[in-house]
């Protein structure tokens, strides 16, 4: 996963177009059996994050994991509300 996040940082530095970045990352994620389930989470992260504000790979990795935790909490709350 860190490899894919590092790719996001590197590709964004070279190409500012998010659609091109997303296409490239989708291809990479789909080639990795272990990361396929995370594809939509990664794409949502790219779409919802201002990558220009991220100064380095370590910050991008930290930002992604914070984003993933927040999304997980939202989903858990949604499931909880549906059960009530």
State which residues form the domain around 50.
2-83
Structure token digits, residue 72: 């997980």
Residue 49's CB is within 10 A of a number of other CB atoms, namely: 17
pTM of the model: 0.88
What is the distance between the alpha carbons of residues 71 and 55, in angstroms, rounded to a whole number? 23
Q: Count of domains in the chain?
A: 1
For residue range 64-73, list pLDDT tens digits in order: 999 999 999 9
What is the distance between the alpha carbons of residues 27 and 36, in angstroms, rounded to a whole number? 10
For residue range 15-68, list pLDDT tens digits in order: 889 999 999 999 999 998 888 899 999 999 999 999 999 999 999 999 999 999
Hunting for tokens 């389930």 — which residue is that? 37
Residue 17's CB is within 10 A of a number of other CB atoms, namely: 10
């Amino acid at each position: 996963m860190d490899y894919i996040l590092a790719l996001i940082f590197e590709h964004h530095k070279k190409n500012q177009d998010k659609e091109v970045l997303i296409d490239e990352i989708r291809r990479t994620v789909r080639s990795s059996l272990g990361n396929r389930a995370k594809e939509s989470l990664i794409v949502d992260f790219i779409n919802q994050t201002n990558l220009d504000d991220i100064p380095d790979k370590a910050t991008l990795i930290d930002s992604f994991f914070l984003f993933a935790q927040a999304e997980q909490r939202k989903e858990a709350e949604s499931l909880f509300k549906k059960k009530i």
